[in-house]
Amino acid sequence: MMDALSVVRQLRDLASEPQNRGVIVQDQGCLPGLVLFLDHKDPDVLFATLQTLRYLAELSPNIPTMKNELGMMVSLENLIGREDLSVDIKALAKEVYNILSAPVNPAPRTDGGRKKSQFFINSSNKKAKSVTLHIQGLDNTQQRSVCEEALLKVKGVISFTFQMASKRCTVRIRSDLSTESLATAIAATKVLSAQQVVKNEAGEEVFISLNSCGVEPAKNTALPDYLPEEEESTEMEVDRAISRTAAKEDSSGSWLNAAAGFLTKTFYW
């Protein structure tokens, strides 16, 4: 039997896959349901809902629809102002609010420089780098949630994308954050460990062991300003598509319908 937490967590897992984000926002039941979840009493439901909205907002065309959804911005403002919520929830609510409030189409550059991707909003993206990690123990959505929570608390982490089938996570971080800091945060979960994935001179992928730096990485008292990802190459998108499990690919559509039905029956009166 579905409950609010299981529904929103599965919806979050679907939203973490770039190819699902447009479909979820276009569905007539899911987005209104997520807005209603923003008023839920369970902090776990609130946090998973905000994570889902954060994923959905990474697709630029989704932003106007999300911003204009009835109750969205007001509910986010309410969460930001609540004193009874954790720092993580309030910071993530503020992050999502800022994403939806930001201009969708920044003014074009006039300096003759290379045109930025539509996903660029902040020039400080130039100070970011991407790291691919192989995470031992990343076997299910529960462990994925553990890893997400660990990474979200590290100051300097901008965003991340999982490829569950290959137990990988691509993390976009500020250039001054060491990869060892990520390993330390992941190792602190006691159930996960990380190795860095790089290519050698022959173009072959190899794993590099990461020594925990022994010092707990700086934590976010507020999550970092959202810095959208650069558009990934076609090769990366193909890799992501291949990494999905067949079961997830086959069932995502039917599950989405079931989730929308649950939201409608539960919250519309």
**Does the residue 46 lie in any domain?**
yes
Whether residues 86 and 17 fall in one domain: yes
- The candidate with the shortest Cα–Cα distance to 37, out of 60, 69, 83, 14, is 69
| Rounded Cα distance, 143 and 140, in Å | 6
* Residue 47 domain boundaries: 4-104+249-267
pLDDT per residue as tens digits for the range 248-261 = 444 445 556 666 66
**Does the residue 237 lie in any domain?**
no
Q: What is the pLDDT of residue 192?
A: 93
For the question of whether the overall pTM of this predicted structure is more than 0.75, the answer is: no
pLDDT at 13 over 50: yes
Q: What is the pLDDT of residue 256?
A: 62
- Mean pLDDT of all residues in 71-92: 92
Residue 227: pLDDT band with limits 50, 70, 90: very low
Residue 136: pLDDT band with limits 50, 70, 90: very high
Domain count, the chain: 2
Whether residues 173 and 260 fall in one domain: no
Q: What is the pLDDT of residue 232?
A: 37
Show the beta-strand stretches assigned E in the chain: 128-136, 157-163, 168-174, 193-199, 205-209
pLDDT at 3 over 60: yes
**Does the residue 119 lie in any domain?**
no
**Does the residue 236 lie in any domain?**
no
137 or 1, higher pLDDT: 137
Whether residues 19 and 95 fall in one domain: yes
Q: What is the pLDDT of residue 105?
A: 58
Residue 56: pLDDT band with limits 50, 70, 90: very high
**Does the residue 121 lie in any domain?**
no
- Mean pLDDT of all residues in 71-99: 93
Whether residues 90 and 154 fall in one domain: no
Report the mean per-residue pLDDT for the chain. Answer: 75
Q: What is the pLDDT of residue 103?
A: 77
**Strands 157-163 vs 193-199: parallel, antiparallel or unpaired:** unpaired
CA separation, residue 160 to residues 144, 156, 268 (Å): 12, 12, 34
- Mean pLDDT of all residues in 50-55: 94
Tokens of 99: 């994403």
Q: Report the amino acid identity of residue 200.
A: N
pLDDT at 198 over 80: yes
Q: What is the pLDDT of residue 170?
A: 84
Q: What is the pLDDT of residue 98?
A: 93
The answer to which of 52-66, 124-138, 178-192, 215-229 has the lowest mean pLDDT is 215-229
**Does the residue 131 lie in any domain?**
yes
**Does the residue 112 lie in any domain?**
no
- The candidate with the shortest Cα–Cα distance to 194, out of 134, 113, 263, is 134
Q: What is the CATH number of the domain that holds 217?
A: 3.30.70.100
- Mention every residue, 6+ apart, whose C-beta is less than 8 A from residue 25: 31, 56, 59, 62, 65, 66
pLDDT per residue as tens digits for the range 155-192 = 888 778 788 888 888 888 888 888 888 999 999 999 99
